[in-house]
Structure 1
Amino acid sequence: MKYISTVVLLFVLIGCEKKVEFDLKETMPLLTVDASIESGQGPTVVLTKSLNYFSKVSAEVLANTIIKDAEVYLSTGNNTHQLRRYDVVLPGTTIPFSYYSSDTANASTIIRGEEGKSYQLRIVWQGKEYKSTTTIPAARKYIDSLWWVKAPNTPDTSTKVVVRARVIDPQPFGDYARYFTSVNNGTFLPGFNSVFDDAFVNGTTYTVDVDKGVDRNADLDFEEYGFFRKGDKVTVKFSSIDKATFDFWRTVEYSYQSIGNPFSTPTKIIGNIGNGALGYFGGYSSRYTTVNIPR
């Protein structure tokens, strides 16, 4: 009798359920900005249109989001340079890609990044103006030395290794950094957690494991994550950044790591582009350190 009552109750509850339908309206695409300037180099600005939440993502769809009709300007306050659009094909693919950078036809006004200076980005697109400012901070925090040790807690200790860095963080507070790694002169890829501040290490010298950078467009293999291999030439790009750049990548990476976790808290990405646009404009002061791992 107990089980019959339970079954009846289940049918009653099912019968009382109300079907809820969400009418998700189409929204106007927003300008999305991925812009940076590095010490000793010109700017790189990639402009795209945002996608709706349930959009099907493909190479063709992504190619169609690229914005090619914007006006982009970089300024130091005393000098302004209009950037030029460059159209290329992504290496190893047939996917078209576009970005904005220094216009070599106007060499007299070209702006390159310098430590300690601020830069203003202005974008004009579809009758609207978007602005942002970034600073390239002095490279105070730095990697003093880089070495490798055998990988712990893995059966493959004959080939896998861990790279470690000795980092010096001077007084006072307020040093922010982002790191990338390159293996055998390949592409520099950011770490899974690529940004950090000095809240707990200010004024100290400390040792930290340097995880191998990841391609966020590929599936992450946690069996291999973080390790380098014997025979690798590893170069670490260690970049000083301002707080706005730190906040952007900190929230982006937290959101990226929360994908698929039903218990995670929704994250608001903290960008620094005005007028409702998405994304960021960041300044980088970079230093490079290399270690060769023998076979």
Structure 2
Amino acid sequence: MKYIVTAVLLFALLGCEKKVEFDLNETIPLLTVDASIETGQGPTVVLTKSLNYFSKVSAEVLGNTIIKDAEVYLSTGNKTHQLRRYDVVLPGTSIPFSYYSSDTANPSTIIRGEEGQSYRLRIVWQGKEYTSSTTIPTLRKVIDSLWWVKAPNTPDTSKKVIVRARVIDPQPFGDYARYFTSVNNGVFLPGFNSVFDDAFVNGTTYTVDVDKGVDRNAELDFEEYGFFRKGDTVTIKFSNINKATFDFWRTVEYSYQSIGNPFSTPTKIIGNISNGALGYFGGYANQFTTVTIPR
């Protein structure tokens, strides 16, 4: 999580005569949780330690934030499974990475995602216990059809296109969704604004542009943002989520988009992990829809 000191705050401090000093270097690392479970899949849990505000980010620093000594349990109420840690190297890099998932050595207790099922996550680390719960909702809000059109308002109409979807949102209120895109069987990347609710579209069938997903670890090219290209095969991963998952990603994305804006309001990330930990545990009911754009 990133905490932003805005220019507005600095301007306010300039008007004070009392000298105020901030020590942002020394903070106690907090447990950060990135956990999810999807229909038909086992859980994925990534545990890290938060960084100081002025920490210099490098492959070595990131590697040192990974937590490898936690006990992680997933439960449905009727069954409990202790997750196993897996150590890998991120593809195309030398950066070590670890995550917790189903322990194949204990197949009898393995838990997979099911629509309508609730799950409880329990983490024990450094003598403290952290818990969270989530539900994989029933897949109600769905993509009815997917197609492409020439990209408007760009000189590169011979190659650039946009993808559109017709979405069905049922009654009553309370449907939340998140989407990802994959191009030519590549990784699924979330949209720049990847989550939305049904506050204005409840009970309707509507058409929406589906922006190409973005890699938030890379600089965003606004001239290319949102567009696909002729010859691409585009797959949309359209996920129904619960409100807690929606609130987490909504606040994360707002914070991400407002970085560097001196007039933005500092955002509190709304997580759902107990005992002061950062992050979230979310459930995803997935629909996959594909469109091929001819050359």
**Under TM normalisation by the shorter chain, which class is it?**
over 0.9
Conserved? CA contact 2:25–2:52, under 8 Å: no
Can you list the C-alpha shifts for 1:170-206, whole angstroms capped at 9, x where unaligned? Answer: 0000000000000000000000000000000000000
Q: Which residue of 1 aligns with 2:257?
A: 257
Q: Percent identity?
A: 90
Where does structure 2 lack aligned partners over 5 or more consecutive residues? 1-16
Conserved? CA contact 2:151–2:160, under 8 Å: yes
Q: Which amino acid aligns with 2:122?
A: R
The structural deviation recorded for 1:22 is 2.9
CA pair 74-55 structure 1, distance change in 2 beyond 3 A:
same
Q: Which amino acid aligns with 1:81?
A: H
The structural deviation recorded for 1:250 is 0.2
Q: Which residue of 1 aligns with 2:45?
A: 45
Q: Which residue of 2 aligns with 1:294?
A: 294
Q: Which residue of 2 aligns with 1:6?
A: none
Q: Which residue of 1 aligns with 2:218?
A: 218
- TM-score normalised according to structure 1 size: 0.93
The count of corresponding residues between Structure 1 and Structure 2 is 281
Secondary structure of the 2:106 match is helix
Q: Which amino acid aligns with 1:35?
A: A
Q: Which amino acid aligns with 1:284?
A: Y
Q: Which residue of 2 aligns with 1:13?
A: none
Can you list the C-alpha shifts for 1:17-46, whole angstroms capped at 9, x where unaligned? Answer: 886543335111000000000010000000
Q: Which residue of 2 aligns with 1:5?
A: none
Conserved? CA contact 2:25–2:53, under 8 Å: no
> 2-side partners of 1:25 and 1:159: how far apart?
48
> 2-side partners of 1:283 and 1:182: how far apart?
20
Conserved? CA contact 2:193–2:253, under 8 Å: yes
Q: Which residue of 2 aligns with 1:3?
A: none
Secondary structure of the 1:104 match is coil
Can you list the C-alpha shifts for 1:225-250, whole angstroms capped at 9, x where unaligned? Answer: 00000000000000000000000000
Is 1:184 matched with 2:172?
no
Can you list the C-alpha shifts for 1:143-192, whole angstroms capped at 9, x where unaligned? Answer: 00000000000000000000000000000000000000000000000000
**Structure with the greater alpha carbon radius of gyration:** 1
Can you list the C-alpha shifts for 1:97-127, whole angstroms capped at 9, x where unaligned? Answer: 0000000000000000000010000000000
Matched ranges for 1:1-295 at <5 A = 21-24=21-24, 26-295=26-295
> 2-side partners of 1:21 and 1:100: how far apart?
40
Secondary structure of the 1:255 match is helix
Give the stretch that moved more between structures: 282-291 or 23-32. Answer: 23-32
Q: Which amino acid aligns with 2:260?
A: G
Can you list the C-alpha shifts for 1:253-279, whole angstroms capped at 9, x where unaligned? Answer: 000000000000000000000000000
Q: Which amino acid aligns with 1:161?
A: V
> 2-side partners of 1:182 and 1:24: how far apart?
39
> 2-side partners of 1:91 and 1:24: how far apart?
34
4+ aligned runs moved over 2 Å, structure 1? 17-25
> 2-side partners of 1:247 and 1:67: how far apart?
25
> 2-side partners of 1:60 and 1:231: how far apart?
39
> 1-side partners of 2:148 and 2:43: how far apart?
34
- TM-score normalised according to structure 2 size: 0.93
Secondary structure of the 1:213 match is coil
Q: Which amino acid aligns with 1:187?
A: V
The structural deviation recorded for 1:59 is 1.0
> 1-side partners of 2:24 and 2:47: how far apart?
26
Can you list the C-alpha shifts for 1:198-227, whole angstroms capped at 9, x where unaligned? Answer: 000000000000000000000000000000
> 1-side partners of 2:161 and 2:72: how far apart?
44
> 2-side partners of 1:168 and 1:54: how far apart?
45
> 2-side partners of 1:273 and 1:97: how far apart?
22
Q: Which amino acid aligns with 1:49?
A: K
> 1-side partners of 2:170 and 2:114: how far apart?
21
Where does structure 1 lack aligned partners over 5 or more consecutive residues? 1-16
